[in-house]
Amino acid sequence: MAKVEGLRCRECGQCYDKAPIHVCELCFGPLEVLYDFESGPQITRERIEAGPPTMWRYADLLPLDGEPTVGRQVGFTPLVRAENLGRALGLREVYVKNDAVSHPTLSFKDRVVAVALSKAREFGFQTVGCASTGNLANSVAAHAAEGGFEAYIFIPHDLEQGKVVGTLIYGANVLSVQGNYDEVNRLCSEVAGKYGWGLANVNLRPFYGDGSKTFGYEIAEQLGWKAPQHIVCPSAGGSLVTKIYKALGEFSQLGLIDGVPTKMYVAQASGCAPISTMVKERTEIMRPVRPNTIAKSIAIGNPADGYYAAETCRKSGGWAEDVSDAEIVEGIQLLARAEGIFTETAGGVTVAVTRKLIEQGRIPKDESVVICITGNGLKTIDAVLGKIGETIPIAPSLASLEEALAQRAHTLPAKTVPVQEPLATAA
Ligand SMILES: *Cc1c(COP(=O)(O)O)cnc(C)c1O
Ligand SMILES: [Zn+2]
């Protein structure tokens, strides 16, 4: 396990002992985990490769004192070479990092929760919880069940059915708050202070955030110990994109990869784009917004790590973009039809933003690109229902089948049976 020296303020550098705290007492800056990678066993490719096929192969780089006690199977999801998607987008080398199939709750939040709740156990918490836009709720509830914690989960009242059911099923107490995520989050800060619970993304946030580093470690290892030239990542609170870049930097420092040529791109929905707006307007001041988008999982109007996410785009030479709800649905469809991967709205955002960045000439067509797919489409069916075609009703007879097909072929507009379009012929 990594040697955790303590916590340090990202703004003023003030150091603190390891504790369930997340804000600097001096300047209110966010705290991050301070490691000493030198004191433990030497971290080599061979040592990592000999580890389990999970995120815990990187345990030397994660902030636990002992073995993980929940989420031991999380991570090491597929990195898919996406040839069909590449053809559709005009890219030579594109990969999908597919956390839509994350075990156990089908989003990358399993990574952050495996660390946060294992840490909660080390701190001695018996009650855990979170403020969530959906996926974190699912994952905290599942891992709380696994670890025998009591769970209090706070969500905005208007989440998708799939996200609500996927939390209640684990027996968590689910508080449906009449307000948006930012109001939920504010309430949770008060809750953490008053009740002393371990809230994954509030007082356990420094530890939670470092679970996201494993997404970046895996990309580099799965590319054959190499960082790609471009990574497009959906942002909500702004943590994941920041931590992927941090992970690549650590790998480079440890000599596991040869440098980090990677440009980082934030993908957001236009209905909630505070980070993308900062990058596009080249400002360091974040203007909070009131979210209005179908991409609810990334609808955070006042992102905790928004400043750092924008800075990551800037200093890596990347950029940010945002897309409309209609483009999000197109993005979901494009990935599903090209690669057979059904992602949720956040993934639709990422695919659509990637297309936009290519059209803008920001991502050159002959360079390597990794698209971060962070969640599963079965949880956000509400967003696509009625927009993706319909079933063909028939009676259980050949005659009915043939009649329906004849009718359909007859009424199909010609442009939906293309001959030369790569997507249609690549199937
Ligand atoms: C939470 C979430 C994100 C964004 O994560 P941040 O670290 O808060 O920026 C992206 N995609 C999905 C599906 C999520 O649930
Ligand atoms: Zn400080």
Nearest atom of ligand 1 to the alpha carbon of 300: 8
Q: Please give the residue that has the higher pLDDT: either 330 or 422.
A: 330
For the chain, give the mean pLDDT: 95
Q: Please give the residue that has the higher pLDDT: either 213 or 424.
A: 213
The helix/strand/coil state of 368 is strand
Intrachain domains 3-70+109-208 and 79-106+212-383 with the same fold? yes
Q: If one looks up domain 3-70+109-208 in CATH, what number appears?
A: 3.40.50.1100
Residue type, 34: L
The string of pLDDT tens digits covering residues 178-231 is 999 999 999 999 999 899 899 999 999 999 999 999 999 999 999 999 999 999
Could you tell me which of 311, 304, 152 has the C-alpha nearest to residue 246?
311
* Phi, psi (deg, nearest 5) at residue 353: -70, -40
Determine the pLDDT at residue 415: 56
Please state, in angstroms and rounded to a whole number, the distance separating the CA atoms of residues 54 and 64: 15
Determine the pLDDT at residue 39: 87
Indicate if the alpha-carbon torsion angle 230, 234, 235, 238 is positive or negative: negative
Contact 108, 212 (CB under 8 A): yes
Q: What is the mean pLDDT of residues 61-90?
A: 98
> Residue 319 is encoded by which pair of tokens?
């950029």
Q: What is the mean pLDDT of residues 348-368?
A: 98
Q: How far does the centroid of ligand 2 lie from the alpha carbon of residue 193, in Å?
A: 19
Percent of the chain with pLDDT over 70: 95
Q: What is the mean pLDDT of residues 399-408?
A: 91
> Residue 63 is encoded by which pair of tokens?
């902030």
Could you tell me which of 49, 367, 92 has the C-alpha nearest to residue 217?
49
Write down the H helix ranges in 154-238. Answer: 161-168, 181-195, 205-211, 213-222
Q: How far does the centroid of ligand 1 lie from the alpha carbon of residue 216, in Å?
A: 14
> Residue 355 is encoded by which pair of tokens?
């297309």
User: How many Cα atoms are found within 13 Å in the side-chain-facing hemisphere of 383?
Assistant: 33
The string of pLDDT tens digits covering residues 115-142 is 999 999 999 999 999 999 999 999 999 9
Among the bound ligands, the one closest to the CA of 30: 2
Contact 87, 426 (CB under 8 A): yes
Q: What is the mean pLDDT of residues 161-175?
A: 97
Please state, in angstroms and rounded to a whole number, the distance separating the CA atoms of residues 257 and 111: 22
13 alpha-carbon distance from chain centroid: 28
Please state, in angstroms and rounded to a whole number, the distance separating the CA atoms of residues 333 and 387: 10
3-state helix, strand, coil in the chain (%, to 5): 45, 15, 40
- Which of 135, 139, 245 for mutating ligand 1's site (highest number of atoms within 8 Å of CB)? 135
Determine the pLDDT at residue 214: 98
User: How many Cα atoms are found within 13 Å in the side-chain-facing hemisphere of 392?
Assistant: 13
When pLDDT is cut at 50, 70 and 90, the band that residue 242 belongs to is very high
Could you tell me which of 58, 237, 36 has the C-alpha nearest to residue 133?
237
- Which of 130, 374, 376, 378 for mutating ligand 1's site (highest number of atoms within 8 Å of CB)? 374
> Residue 22 is encoded by which pair of tokens?
């997340």
Please state, in angstroms and rounded to a whole number, the distance separating the CA atoms of residues 288 and 267: 17
> Residue 399 is encoded by which pair of tokens?
């005659």
When pLDDT is cut at 50, 70 and 90, the band that residue 3 belongs to is confident
94 forms beta bridges with 369
Residues with CB under 5 A from ligand 2 (ion): 9, 11-12, 14, 24, 26-27, 29
Please state, in angstroms and rounded to a whole number, the distance separating the CA atoms of residues 139 and 345: 18
Q: Is the pLDDT of residue 40 over 60?
A: yes
Could you tell me which of 222, 239, 62, 213 has the C-alpha nearest to residue 135?
239
Among the bound ligands, the one closest to the CA of 9: 2
Determine the pLDDT at residue 5: 93
Could you tell me which of 112, 421, 402, 408 has the C-alpha nearest to residue 239?
112
Domain boundaries, the chain: 3-70+109-208, 79-106+212-383
Q: How far does the centroid of ligand 2 lie from the alpha carbon of residue 12, in Å?
A: 4
Please state, in angstroms and rounded to a whole number, the distance separating the CA atoms of residues 281 and 274: 11
Determine the pLDDT at residue 418: 53
Nearest atom of ligand 1 to the alpha carbon of 309: 9
- Which of 96, 99, 101, 107 for mutating ligand 1's site (highest number of atoms within 8 Å of CB)? 107
Q: How far does the centroid of ligand 1 lie from the alpha carbon of residue 240, in Å?
A: 7
Is the preceding omega at residue 288 within 30 degrees of 0, hence cis? no
The string of pLDDT tens digits covering residues 249-306 is 999 999 999 999 999 999 999 999 999 999 999 999 999 999 999 999 999 999 999 9
Please state, in angstroms and rounded to a whole number, the distance separating the CA atoms of residues 235 and 158: 20
Could you tell me which of 116, 117, 188 has the C-alpha nearest to residue 146?
117
Q: If one looks up domain 79-106+212-383 in CATH, what number appears?
A: 3.40.50.1100
Q: What is the mean pLDDT of residues 337-355?
A: 98
